Structure 1
Amino acid sequence: MPAEPVPAAHTPTAPMPAAPIPAEPLLDSGRFARGPFAPVTEEVTAFDLPVTGRLPAGLDGRYLRNGPNPLGLDEPVQHWFLGPGMVHGVRLRDGRAEWYRNRWVRSRQVAGALGEQWPGGPVHAGMDFAANTHVVAHAGRILATVEAGPLPYELTDELDTVGPCDFGGTLPGGYAAHTKLDRRTGDLHAVAYFWGWDHVQHVVIGPDGRVGGTTDVPVPDGPMMHDFALTERYVVLLDLPVTFSMPAAVSGSPLPYAWNAGHQARLGLLPREGAVREVRWFEVDPCWVFHTLNAYDDGDRVVVDVCRYEGSYDLSALTGRGPLTLDRWTVDPAAGTVALQRLDDRPQEFPRVDERVVSRPHRYGYGAVIGEVNPSTVRMSGTFQDGAFASALLKHDLAAGAVEAHRFPRDATVGEAVFVPSAPDAAEDDGYVLAFVHDPDRGATDLVVLAAQDFAGEPVARVHLPARVPLGFHGSWAADR
């Protein structure tokens, strides 16, 4: 089955296509159809998985990861972003790997292609899509998410589809791919955008799983806001020059967003509290950001760490004019300025921190290498298009200004890594780093567990899956409730 259908052309008064725009760094569609990106063709359930090494007894929960996986390749793949989501999961408990499952998210189209009845549910603006970008757990639900209008899909603990989720009828519009959980309050934050709005919307889902509040923020040009950041005082908005393009939509582009040189790049600080929540905007140099590492308040200033593509960015070709680097913006509201600092010039993406420090000062961060790594110097060569995902993960100690690399075998590939603390009250660096790693010798994937405090050392454990997990997008650790 091809990706969600997109009409060949549109007039300015015609409705937009049902397909959403899940923005991620990616490769051309030809490469997506082969190698470590190629979709798998069947759903698998396997129990009592073999393990090399020893799984930590405290890892009780499910490691989940989402990504696009077309049901068939009879037609050319239009774009990696447009494949229906498939969620992969590994259940760990008491030092054992109990099961592996992979399941397509059952949108109406996917359910029909599989000969099943669609479970039904709410749909925003006619945009039903098998959410393919992230998977998160909140308030007793597991949610597969995507951006640009469609609702998330709720899944069971075994990854079966429950149906679209509008949080008990409390969500007024579409939702977002990325969320930030404030562990002090239990609130889940998101920033949603949709081509038909003249604003973006900050959405707060309470610990009860219902929308606790929304705030509309007017923005011109319909910018793509894939990610955002959160501090204890602010929601940090990234209003950057990739915006909705009517010419691209009229020409039939499945991704009608393009670089807009006339759109000023800026950061916005939206107060989280107060009777009047007005955004204050700060101009920055032209750039593109898919993902933030984290943000926090530093006195009256705000610190925002991001993976930043300098200069213009061509979403259709997925190339940036300048380098991809780990950078820090420091916003000084009193002075009205934003200072830029280079944290690391190694090309990297999919940055993550210990989720317990989201919105608060962080010392450590993790990322996936884009390009090739020289293990003796931890330097890289190549570009995203040339090297794609490499066989290494990075760990940053931002306080010490140090970087470590964990290098897997050269022909292995690894995407995003997720940090899991060894105990709820453990120190920020006391825990494990989990990632799916393709093992070319087996033609299948391992769930690799690294000790965060021995990041470059041998893995603590490898869970050997019976199938290959294509390189995809984002994942989470869902601890046992």
Structure 2
Amino acid sequence: MGDGMVHGVCLRDGKALWYRNRYVNSSRIAAARGTAEPLGRNWNNSSVGPNTNVGGFAGKTWAMVEAGGCPVELTYELDTVGYNDFGGTLPGAFSAHPKVDPNTGEMHAMTYAWGQWLNHVQYVRVGRDGRVNRTVDIPLPGMSMVHDVSITEKYVVVYDQPVIVDFDLAFAGRFPFRWKPEYGNRVGLLPREGEASDIVWVDVPIGYVFHPMNAYDTADGKVVLDVCFYDVMMEKDILGPFGDTLPRFVRWQVDPVRRTTNATDIDTRVNEFPRHRGSLTGKPYRYGYCAQVDTGSMYWPTVKHDLVTGMRDVFDHGAGRAAGEPVFVARPGGSEEDDGWLVTFVHDGNDNSAEFAVIDAQDFSRGYVARVKLPQRVPFGFHGNWVPDR
């Protein structure tokens, strides 16, 4: 994993105003360019800048990474402002995958950092004002790779999984994660205002989850977790994620009273980069969206799941064309859950070009609602978000 580069398209009044790509400035980028290092303090002193996710919160644009790196604030035009520890309130590491509560507007993250923290992760809550207002240190039996987090209206969900930090690899300067199935796999249900001692731990099937789709509480006290699940991760290929097994779409129904989990497959085909309507984060929902990744070809369609009927709809981007993470953008004033658009970058392997694509989330048969041809290829990346001006 190297330095991060952010790509952005600005849309206004039905037109694409600009496309930009910018490196997230870091000490390594600055040294290569002979320019000043980014302002602010990077908590883990890494020479590499955030390279995993970019999004908006508290009126700012943020580039983010896990495992200790401090988020970097970007300008509207995607240039680096500098490291920002939420106004001096972030005590340590942050995450690439925070979740925003649609009820409160607060941002929730589960953070970890090897070298600095050896046996715990930290839950971080950031208020709408962009300042950290709550942290909880959560002891773990080892340093597992906690890539993401889920929230429900009652709980924050900790994923304590059997991909762990191997310090021999880390000290040798290699990618530090490895598969350790004997570590076990479990989720922790932290009450939203509780402490570490209040967490209910429940075993789940051995495997690994990079990305949950969503989570919610049920009327009978259970917790539903919809996840993209790998049976094995980083056993043969320590760089992951597709070198060992491919992810399927799975539902876990977790019972915090009996401390049991009922696991069922939603879709056994390959599903990754799951998204849903953001206003339903932590709540019951019907529709989810994924990229259907095919590691053997450049054919990555976009999939819509109806979690009530079990039906799925597939948007075919064409032979040799691969779509990335499908981000849902709600139609202003719309009343139905899927009333909106999916936006994504599409790579065309036939001519090595790229475009920004807009799809009607309710009606895939319409084809593209809009396509913005980009002046250069957008490399395969991880995550992005829609950030409205207002």
Tell me the TM-score normalised to structure 1 length.
0.77
Cross-structure match for 1:261: 181
Matched residue pairs, number? Answer: 385
2:288 pairs with 1:368: no
Q: Equivalent pairs: percent with the same residue?
A: 45
Residue 322 of structure 1 and its aligned partner are, at CA, apart by: 5.3
Alpha-carbon shift at residue 443 of structure 1 (Å)? 3.5
Equivalent pair of 1:436/1:446 in contact (CA under 8 Å): yes
Give structure 2 stretches of 5+ with no counterpart.
none
Relative distance call for 1:274 and 1:263 in structure 2 (3 A) is closer
Q: Deviations over 1:266-305 (max 9, x none)?
A: 1110110247762111112210111000000012110000
Residue 376 of structure 1 is matched in structure 2 by: none
Cα deviations across residues 35-66 of structure 1 (Å, max 9, x unaligned)? xxxxxxxxxxxxxxxxxxxxxxxxxxxxxxxx
Q: Does the alignment pair 1:231 with 2:152?
A: yes
For residue 214 of structure 2, what is the aligned residue in structure 1? 294
Q: CA deviation at 1:365?
A: 0.6
Distance 1:329 1:451 in 2: 29
Q: 1 CA distance for matches of 2:45 and 2:232?
A: 35
Structure 1 residues 258, 150: CA separation in 2 closer, same or farther (over 3 Å shift)?
Answer: same
Following superposition, the deviation at residue 129 of structure 1 comes to: 2.6
- Tell me whether 1:397 sits opposite 2:272 in the alignment: no
| Superposed displacement of residue 317, structure 1 | 5.3
Alpha-carbon displacement from aligned partner over 1:422-481 (angstroms, at most 9, x marks no partner): 115532100000011123455321111000111243111101111111110000000112
The match for 2:367 is 458
1:467 maps to which of 343, 359, 376: 376
Instruction: State the alpha-carbon separation in 1 of the partners of residues 40 and 356 from structure 2.
Output: 33
Alignment partners' CA distance in 2, 1:96 and 1:176: 33
Does structure 1 residue 93 correspond to structure 2 residue 12?
A: yes
In structure 1, what is the Cα distance between the partners aligned to 2:68 and 2:196? 27
User: Structure 1 pair 339/166, CA: closer, same or farther in 2 (3 Å)?
Assistant: same
Does 2:365 correspond to 1:445? Answer: no
Equivalent of 1:420, from 321, 329, 332? 329
Q: 1:214 aligned to 2:135?
A: yes
Counterpart CA distance in 1 for 2:351 and 2:10 is 21
Cα distance between partner residues in 2 of 1:193 and 1:278 = 20
Q: Select the residue among 223, 231, 243 that pairs with 2:164.
A: 243
Contact kept? 1:421, 1:432, Cα under 8 Å: yes
Partner of 1:316: 238
Query: Residues 164-193 of structure 1, C-alpha deviation per residue, up to 9 Å, x if partnerless?
Result: 110000000011110100011010111101
Match among 254, 270, 280 for residue 357 of structure 1 = 280
Asked if structure 1 preserves the Cα contact closer than 8 Å seen for 2:201 and 2:259, the reply is no
1:111 aligns with 2:30: yes
SS state at 1:172 partner: coil
Aligned AA for 1:240? Q
Higher relative contact order (CA 8 A, sep 6+): 1
Q: Which residue of 1 aligns with 2:107?
A: 188
Question: Do the aligned partners of 1:179 and 1:190 also contact (CA within 8 Å) in 2?
Answer: yes
Rounded to whole Å, the distance in 2 between the matches of 1:233 and 1:422 is 28
**Amino acid in the other structure paired with 1:222:** M
Relative to the length of structure 2, the TM-score reads 0.94
**Matched AA of 2:362:** Q
Determine if contact 2:67/2:95 at 8 Å carries over to the other structure.
Answer: yes
The aligned counterpart of 2:203 is 283
User: Structure 1: where are the runs of 5+ without partners?
Assistant: 1-81, 372-383
Q: Aligned with 2:366: secondary structure?
A: coil
